[in-house]
Amino acid sequence: MLAAPLIRITIYEDNALLREALSVLVQVTDGYELRGAFGDCLAVEAQTAELQPDVVLMDIDLPGMSGIEATLRLHRQFPAVDVLILTVFDDDGQVFDAIRAGATGYLLKRTPPGRILDAIREVYEGGAPMSPAIARRVMQSLHPTSSMRELEQLSSRELDVLKLLAQGRSYKLVAAELGIGLETVRTYIRRIYEKLHVHSVTEAIARYRA
Amino acid sequence: MLAAPLIRITIYEDNALLREALSVLVQVTDGYELRGAFGDCLAVEAQTAELQPDVVLMDIDLPGMSGIEATLRLHRQFPAVDVLILTVFDDDGQVFDAIRAGATGYLLKRTPPGRILDAIREVYEGGAPMSPAIARRVMQSLHPTSSMRELEQLSSRELDVLKLLAQGRSYKLVAAELGIGLETVRTYIRRIYEKLHVHSVTEAIARYRA
DNA sequence: GGGCGTGTCCCCCTTTTATGGGATTGACAG
DNA sequence: CTGTCAATCCCATAAAAGGGGGACACGCCC
């Protein structure tokens, strides 16, 4: 940390006051360099190409183009640039949309300034800082849900079948791949439906991948 | 943070020196209470029932039963108890197995003592602390793969349909939920199949959730 | 203004699934 | 040794999904 490299930053935040506050924060702190701060992300690609930031601080609710859309474009065109979302939204939809769009970190706006600076450095150094509540959601999204427990009732052969179905195979293909008859596959599927209380392949798969 | 409640902790760590160090750390710090520290997790369920910890600090490589297995049991039987993994392993297998087993946080052993205490409190307060490298992996595991790119050819309405199908809905239900006719749903589905080069709902879903 | 994509709807026919009813074998538990 | 369960196969019928063909209106782009 002694010879911490300079981290180049751009900011996208439509609230002028907050944008100014963030800009000043970054400007007055050693180890950080503000390359630009904007009220919308309509020209995010050109600006990124020109300003060459290491880390982009991105709000979500921006006029014209959402920060999520901007993140998606950025992540496509400049995979080496890390996007750190800074927003008031903490609902699952926004959070996971942003992550899927390629965000590297996700902070809520109530994050104290010092923590924001830490997070920028953490992103730069290969981390993925998240506000605690966000981290918990992300973690939970990887936990198998209680409905997964029902899967434990399935026999190993039934699981084989379900697994292949979940990969998009038809009954015929499942039968071929497992080396059993089509009727046998049907039988397993009926038992799977009974055990999982569903009535179609798609429902069963939805349970399987819940 | 002024009137921070006491957090009750149990520790599972086979290295006696480290176990002692962690025990002392927790014991001498205000706001934390050590309820027990053990070299294996064979009796984790009984110990948890008796000692009533809020947070369990769990190593992975333990004699007799792995910390991941213990986490699984703990998470099943005491869903209110949070497990914080503290280990040297940072390979994907261990990390995701632990998370799927129900771990709430995942720290690498090189984490400084102060950060460990912070992490325990963060877990207790609803967060999910992870070492930066772990957070990045978790984040990346949620990023869509390149095969997802085909999905961008779909119109928004087509995506609506696919999304509902992926949740296990039948054509009828999709039509009902979107307030459109069954025939319209069929048309969308045919177009989806063309664009994704598939021939069944299950295949389309497999692509969708690749 | 003519194409192209999208959103909406319709008909007909074939294939696949869903659901009901069976059957046999072998393993394992009580 | 009797019951249960997993694993395998079979038949029949009804419902759903797949695949082909259209149709029409709207908006956008060149």
Domain boundaries along the sequence of chain B: 7-141, 146-208
Out of B127, B131, B167, whose CB is closest to A136? Answer: B127
Distance from the first to the final alpha carbon of chain A = 42
Would you state the pLDDT for residue B147?
57
Superfamily of domain A7-142: Response regulator (3.40.50.2300)
Which of B71, B124, B139, B149 should one mutate to test binding to chain A, selecting the residue with the greatest count of A CBs within 10 A? B139
Would you state the pLDDT for residue B209?
82
Q: Higher confidence at residue A117 or residue B100?
A: A117
Q: What is the pLDDT of residues B133-175, one digit of tens each?
A: 999 999 998 887 655 667 788 889 999 999 999 999 999 999 9
Of A103, A101, A119, A122, whose CA–CA distance to A111 is shortest?
A119
Q: Please list, in sequence order, all residues whose beta carbon lies within 8 angstroms of the beta carbon of residue B50, skipping any fewer than 6 positions away.
A: none
Would you state the pLDDT for residue A88?
94
- Calpha distance B66→B161 (Å, rounded): 43
Which amino acid makes up residue A147?
S
Class of B146-208 per CATH? mainly alpha
Would you state the pLDDT for residue A131?
96
- Residue A35 DSSP symbol: E
Q: Please list, in sequence order, all residues whose beta carbon lies within 8 angstroms of the beta carbon of residue B71, skipping any fewer than 6 positions away.
A: B58, B83, B85, B98, B101, B102, B103
Question: Is residue B197 packed enough to be buried (19+ CB in 10 Å), middle (13-18) or exposed (0-12)?
Answer: exposed
- Calpha distance A44→A58 (Å, rounded): 10
Which of A164, A200, A205 should one mutate to test binding to chain B, selecting the residue with the greatest count of B CBs within 10 A? A205
- Is the predicted pLDDT of residue B1 greater than 60, yes or no? no
CATH 3.30.420.40, domain B7-141, yes or no: no
Of B68, B86, B84, B70, whose CA–CA distance to B120 is shortest?
B84
| Mean model confidence pLDDT for chain B | 92
Instruction: Quote the tokens at residue A48.
Output: 């990124």
Q: Quickly state the pLDDT bin for A188 (edges 50, 70, 90).
A: very high
Chain B residues with CB-CB distance to A133 below 8 A: 126-127
Q: What is the pLDDT of residues B52-101, one digit of tens each?
A: 999 999 999 999 999 999 998 899 889 999 999 999 998 999 999 999 89
* B11 Rama sector, left if φ>0, alpha if ψ -120 to 50, beta otherwise: beta
Per-residue CA distances from A1 to A6, A84, A125 (Å):
11, 21, 11
Q: Distance (Å) from CA B150 to C1' D24? A: 29
Q: Higher confidence at residue B84 or residue B2?
A: B84
Chain A residues with CB-CB distance to B128 below 8 A: 130, 132, 135-136, 138-140
Q: What is the pLDDT of residues A56-114, one digit of tens each?
A: 999 999 998 899 989 988 998 899 999 999 999 888 889 999 998 899 999 999 999 99
Q: Quickly state the pLDDT bin for B5 (edges 50, 70, 90).
A: confident
Count Cβ atoms below 10 Å from residue A83 Cβ, excluding itself: 28
Q: Is the pTM of this model over 0.85?
A: no
| Mean model confidence pLDDT for chain A | 92
Q: Quickly state the pLDDT bin for A3 (edges 50, 70, 90).
A: low
Of A140, A143, A123, whose CA–CA distance to A132 is shortest?
A140
Instruction: Quote the tokens at residue B51.
Output: 């000692």
Would you state the pLDDT for residue B148?
65
Q: Distance (Å) from CA A187 to C1' C23? A: 13
Q: Distance (Å) from CA A92 to C1' D17? A: 33
Question: Is residue B146 packed enough to be buried (19+ CB in 10 Å), middle (13-18) or exposed (0-12)?
Answer: exposed
**Rounded to a whole number, what is the distance in Å from the CA of A79 to chain B's nearest CA?**
12
- Is the predicted pLDDT of residue A148 greater than 80, yes or no? no
Q: Looking at domain A147-208, which CATH architecture does it have?
A: Orthogonal Bundle (1.10)
